[in-house]
Amino acid sequence: MNAADGVPEWRLNLVIEDLDTLHTQLIVALLSTICIAIHTACAVYAVQTQMRRGWKGARKWLLFATAALYIATAAAWSTSLVGQFQSVIAIKSDLLGEDSFASVWITIQDYVGSGALTISVFIGDSIVWWRVWVLWNKNRLILIISLLVLFATLGLGVASYFVNGGGLFFTGRLGLTVIVLSLFSNLASTLLVGYKSWKHRMSAKSLHFTRVSSVNQVQRALMLLFESDIVYCILWTLVLSSEVWIITPNDQSKWLWTNIMEYFVEGCLVALVGIYPTLIIIVIALNKSKIEQQCTTSFVASAGLAPAALPLIEADIGTYSSEMVEGDARRRAAVLIGLSRDSDDASALTSTKGAADDV
């Protein structure tokens, strides 16, 4: 019993715990507010770019994905703010000996955060693999691999969610497996996009298209996809490192890192996992005309060829007629036709007709 105010010592201990929780909640709320502001800007821009192009094909699904990712982030952010206010109320309630709902809201916050993260990871990985599938001309093997990886990640994520009772996102050994699988998934997609980018660059050089502006725009778009994939993989590597430290034997040296990562995971992870595929959607919308643009009729005419004579009519290296003189266009068209007939690797410069309507 505290002699000064008659407050039992155990109540003071509860207040100290509440203050510590409030400190964490304030940092998490600040980080999540910054992240949702960024996500809001990205989501609005993604919706605008998609709606300007209509609702055909996969665009309606990309709009749905954008909305679902944002809703997941908003739900995690909202419960974070409520948890902060409940922590403030808990301090007063513990001093007065009243019941509070702070612990209940912390549990709800963990459940909502874990659910939002599971949904965001699945949608985000789906968008990434869908883009890889399109870039690789809808290769069947890539489709099978992507479906296996995606549903394995989703299944393990849901299992981790229920086994850990909501838990703090992907915790425990099962959660660690989810993180490893998601990291592997994104590493694989990064390598595939990187290879496609490299192959496109080499093909453009061999055909002397490196000075064509549309070709350069394609290369920049592919490199942006590749670099964003690398950043996303680094993000999951950091999360993986913190989870490995948590499940390892007790070691005082690890607590600073795990505390920092706790703030980062609770405050930023859901939003960042949602922002990444939203940025991919923006890149797809802004560069689709450059990556999957069909050769124009004027190019065919300037090459002196009938449309049926151009197997690469849907070459993803853009429209060349504005950059080439007539004779040069004819020579390069002939090279393209020969490449298409003589090499299976011509697919590195093409996308299927269906892919042109998918975005």
CA-nearest of 119, 129, 125, 113 to 68 is 119
Given a cut of 80, whether residue 46 has pLDDT beyond it is yes
Segment 150-164 mean pLDDT: 83
Q: Which of 95-104, 154-163, 306-315 has the lowest mean pLDDT?
A: 306-315
* Predicted confidence (pLDDT) per residue in 258-292, tens digit: 677 778 887 888 888 899 888 888 877 775 544 44
Given a cut of 90, whether residue 221 has pLDDT beyond it is no
Given a cut of 70, whether residue 240 has pLDDT beyond it is yes
| Distance of alpha carbon 221 from alpha carbon 351, whole angstroms | 15
**pLDDT band at 42; cut points 50, 70, 90:** very high
Given a cut of 90, whether residue 37 has pLDDT beyond it is yes
Which residue ranges make up each domain of the chain?
Answer: 9-291, 297-356
Segment 45-49 mean pLDDT: 88
Q: Which of 18-27, 120-129, 192-201 has the lowest mean pLDDT?
A: 18-27
pLDDT at 242: 72
pLDDT at 267: 82
Q: Which contacts (CB < 8 Å, 24+ apart) does range 66-70 have?
A: 66/278, 66/281, 67/43, 68/119, 68/123, 69/39, 69/43, 69/120, 69/123, 69/124, 69/274, 69/277, 69/278, 70/39, 70/40, 70/43, 70/274, 70/278
Q: Does 280 or 140 have the greater pLDDT score?
A: 140
Query: Which CATH number applies to 9-291?
Result: 1.20.1070
pLDDT at 317: 34
pLDDT at 172: 67
pLDDT at 95: 60
Percent of the chain with pLDDT over 70: 55
Given a cut of 50, whether residue 307 has pLDDT beyond it is no
**pLDDT band at 352; cut points 50, 70, 90:** very low
Segment 146-166 mean pLDDT: 82
